[in-house]
Amino acid sequence: MLFFAVSCKGQNKETEVLSNDTEKVKVGSWYFGGWSFPPEDETGHTFHISPTLMTNYGYREPVWGWREDSYQTMVDQINYASNAGLSFWGFCWYENSLVSSPKLMDNLNNALDIFLQVPNRKNLDFFILSCHPVSDVNWDKVCDKTIALFKEPNYLKVDGKPIIIFFNSDEVIEGMGGNEGVKNALAHYRQKAREAGIGEILIGARTRPMASDSHYQDKYVSCGFDFLTTYQNSDEGRQKAGANPYQNLINGDKRAWKEISEHSTLPYVPTMGVGYDMRPWAVDHPTIPASDYWYEQATPREIADHLKEAMTWTKSNSSKVLGNLLFIYAWNENGEGGWLTPTKAEGTARLDAIKEVIKKQDNR
């Protein structure tokens, strides 16, 4: 999830297990809406649809093309995702009042806006991953805009409670004046949701595994977050600069699942990765910090096998997992090297492979 200008850097119920279904794992993926900025030149390039991505990495291009900002493209995407057995998308969402060029950056939300208009949206649930900075200045805007989305009929809920996650949880803590400030802000958020007729909500924080510090996750408890997750775990699998085998990324996922779930009283949602390789964006945007490593491209079968392991882990640790949810990185992080979208080079091979795994569970 790379975008310019700004980086995406509840009451705690320690003993309550929140789960919709103790048997079935509900599998969904992250959705990055960065593919519909106005073209910068006659070639159609944008910040994310960059020259190197379009040429040297053109095999990543979705079957509908690089852009996502058409009604029919969204209809097609939902059909592909739901037919493969995915239950939901977690949209990267941006409240842009604290960033430069807020009107331009609103293009990051175009995909969600279109999603809410198409007739087949009912085939997928959705929820929000808030990514941009917050403070006292825009906190009420964040609350009001997201509470309005909670009212949508296919907004993802666990035990009847809408979920939302803050990607930049540490920036939230800084922007709201520390743990106590966040605790008060989240209490205000929950009260506004009740007054709007939503009832209780579940607020998550993106974290990272810190095996060297068994108390690292405690700050999220102090802040009043309800659960933890990660966006992706590529750093956990890195063994060296340059190319790393996909198995290392799998190992990084497993390390994250174990370390986070064992070092917090909060429920947790595991994330599994299908890849990570930011080289095209690193070439085209040398002033933007980018990773010095990547993972070799996984085969559809390797992705399916990893999904099977992730679903097994989720079931085996259902007492720690929120709502039996499992996140996949990602639906369309084609620029960062993590995608499930059908591509012109690979067709629907990845979706066909994960469909087989999910279908096996559903038929059981």
Tokens representing 12? 């705690």
Burial letters 56-76, b for 16+ CB under 10 A, else e: ebeebbbbbebbbbeeebbbb
Work out whether the CA dihedral 340, 343, 346, 348 comes out positive or negative: positive
The backbone torsions φ and ψ at residue 36, rounded to the nearest 5 degrees and listed phi first, read -140, 30
Q: Which residue has the tokens 């941006």?
A: 94
- The span from the CA of 364 to the CA of 293, in Å, is 40
Q: Is the pLDDT of residue 12 over 90?
A: no
pLDDT confidence of residue 204 = 98
C-beta of residue 127 within 8 angstroms of C-beta of residue 90:
yes
SS3 220: helix
**Maximum average pLDDT range among 94-103, 143-152, 354-363:** 143-152
For residue 273, the surrounding DSSP H or E stretch is: strand 271-273
Domains of the chain by residue range: 26-363
Q: Is the pLDDT of residue 8 over 50?
A: no
pLDDT confidence of residue 19 = 42
User: Residue 278, class by beta-carbon neighbours within 10 Å (0-12 exposed, 13-18 middle, 19+ buried)?
Assistant: buried
The backbone torsions φ and ψ at residue 202, rounded to the nearest 5 degrees and listed phi first, read -115, 120
Instruction: For residue range 174-221, list pLDDT tens digits in order.
Output: 999 999 999 999 999 999 999 999 999 999 999 999 888 889 999 999
Mean pLDDT, rounded, for 265-269: 97
pLDDT confidence of residue 364 = 63
- The span from the CA of 115 to the CA of 332, in Å, is 15
pLDDT confidence of residue 4 = 45
Q: Which fold has domain 26-363?
A: TIM Barrel (3.20.20)
Q: Is the pLDDT of residue 290 over 70?
A: yes
- Residue 10's pLDDT band, with cuts at 50, 70 and 90, is very low
Instruction: For residue range 300-334, list pLDDT tens digits in order.
Output: 999 999 999 999 999 999 999 999 999 999 999 99
The DSSP line for 169-197 is: HHHHHHHTTSHHHHHHHHHHHHHHHHHTT
- Please tell me which residue, 291 or 21, carries the higher pLDDT value: 291
The DSSP line for 111-160 is: HHHHHTTSGGGGGSEEEEEE-S---TTTHHHHHHHHHHHHTSTTB-EETT
Tokens representing 140? 């009420």
CA proximity to 72, closest of 122, 127, 114, 29: 114
pLDDT confidence of residue 7 = 37
pLDDT confidence of residue 62 = 98
Could you give the C-alpha distances from 47 to 172, 281, 294, 335, in angstroms and in order?
A: 26, 9, 21, 10
pLDDT confidence of residue 18 = 40
pLDDT confidence of residue 13 = 37
pTM of the shown model: 0.93
C-beta of residue 33 within 8 angstroms of C-beta of residue 111:
yes
Tokens representing 240? 């060296």
